[in-house]
Amino acid sequence: MRGADVTQESLFTVAKLADFVPANHPLRSIRELADEALRRMSGLFSALYADTGRASIAPEKLMRAQLLQLFYSIRSERMLME
**3, 55 contact by CB (below 8 A):** yes
SS3 70: helix
User: For the segment 22-67, what is each residue's pLDDT rounded down to a tens digit?
Assistant: 999 999 999 999 999 999 999 998 898 888 888 888 899 999 999 9
Cα(7)–Cα(14) distance, rounded to whole angstroms?
13
Residue 6 lies in a domain: no
7 closest CA partner among 15, 19, 17, 20? 17
Residue 31 lies in a domain: yes
pTM: 0.74
Total domain count, the chain: 1
Domain coverage including residue 57 = 17-80
Residues 6+ apart with CB under 8 A from 61: 3, 5
pLDDT at 69 over 90: yes
Other residues' Cβ atoms within 10 Å of the Cβ of residue 2 = 19
Residue 64 lies in a domain: yes
